Amino acid sequence: MSALPGFVSGALHAKLENVSRTDLKARAQRMSDSYRGGGTSAVIRSDLDALAYAIVRMPATYAAVRAALAQTAQIVPDFGPRTLLDVGAGPGTATWAACDAWPSLERATLIDDNSHLLALAQAMQASLDISAQRSAMAAALPDAASADVVLTSYVLTELPDASLRATLDRLWDKAERLLVIVEPGTPNGFKRILACRDALIARGAQIVAPCSHEGRCPLADGPRWCHFSARVPRSRDHLLVKDANVPFEDEKFSYLVAGKGFPPLDRGRRILATPKVDKSAVTLTVCTPDVPEQRRVARGDKDAYRAAKRLDWGDAI
Ligand SMILES: C[S@@+](CC[C@H](N)C(=O)[O-])C[C@H]1O[C@@H](n2cnc3c(N)ncnc32)[C@H](O)[C@@H]1O
């Protein structure tokens, strides 16, 4: 379970002082209704709207990015980036997750066209040098400095389909080593990830995660979609504003990490669903280049069974 880092939750807590929870709840509800109806974060039009976003959505998007980066770090454990470009950064969610995954980071540039969300990011005192640029990405990207890692989280879903390819090309051009894309774990989110995967492979990208190969995705035409799940602890204010009583939620996400200049990688095979454990075996749904495969590890095979019981959805074996 990945909770927001202390300096982020501390900054949010300070902003919440004297803010009516009833008002915050109404703003969060408006935002959820807009998202559910296919709307975008354009509905965030004030500092209080931005705070409502940070309370109800930021813990989940943080947990998703953090989980994707944990899976990435297992494939490239020696990679220690120094610079980051976070595009559609909002309150800096993906940047804070990257700081946690890669303490080597020294500098981050955050681009977003929403001044309220960007102001929230600037209120957080991170241990790295932050430069925030309020601009639409189409205008900012051509002149942005390239970075070891380019990250974009829950952003492509807000762009018109027609601009996806040009945006992706710009993001890839700015990435010195890795481009990380995180999207909602829905069939549509996966469709966008798949389109990005095809386009990036055509441009010579190495797929670092979650895939174990650059061949055709075995889920491209089937009924299932490649997505993962991150458990998110809910703060008291999160529970209050969302009118919830379960102290956690599960955020579903799809992601893609494309790399440049890495040696051949040992990527293993990704587990595509929660392992099924019963008295006789652990059954794993594993991605292979052809079809997702069911692998049964029988209880009789003691060491393998014990190891399989420790595995989770999203792990690579
Ligand atoms: C759902 S929020 C995600 C924020 C953050 N990346 C996260 O994961 O929590 C989408 C963000 O993308 C930004 N955005 C959308 N379209 C944009 C564009 N064309 N140029 C710059 N920022 C954009 C929005 O302002 C918003 O901050």
Digits of tens for pLDDT over the chain (317 positions)? 678 999 999 999 999 999 999 999 999 999 888 888 888 888 999 999 999 999 999 999 999 999 999 999 999 999 999 999 999 999 999 999 999 999 999 999 999 999 999 999 999 987 899 999 999 999 999 999 999 999 999 999 999 999 999 999 999 999 999 999 999 999 999 999 999 999 999 999 999 999 999 999 999 988 899 999 999 988 888 888 888 888 889 999 999 999 999 999 999 999 999 999 998 999 999 999 888 899 999 999 999 999 999 999 999 99
Distance 127 CA to ligand 1 centre (A): 23
CB 255 near ligand 1, within 6 Å: no
Q: Does the beta carbon of 113 lie inside 6 Å of ligand 1? A: yes
Confidence (pTM): 0.96
Q: How far apart are CA 122 and CA 132, in angstroms?
A: 7
Query: Alpha carbon of 10 to those of 54, 89, 106, 141, 164: distances in Å?
Result: 12, 19, 22, 31, 35
How far from chain centre, in Å, is Cα 204? 23
Count CB-CB contacts under 10 A for residue 222.
Answer: 10
- Regarding the beta carbon of 152 and ligand 1, being less than 6 Å apart is answered no
From 46, 58, 112, mutation site for ligand 1 pocket: most ligand atoms within 8 A of C-beta: 112
CA of 156 to the centre of ligand 1 (A): 8
Q: 295 pairs with which residues across the strands?
A: 284
Q: Give the residue whose CA is nearest to atom 18 of ligand 1.
A: 136
Query: C-alpha angle with apex 64: 199 to 233, nearest 5 degrees?
Result: 170
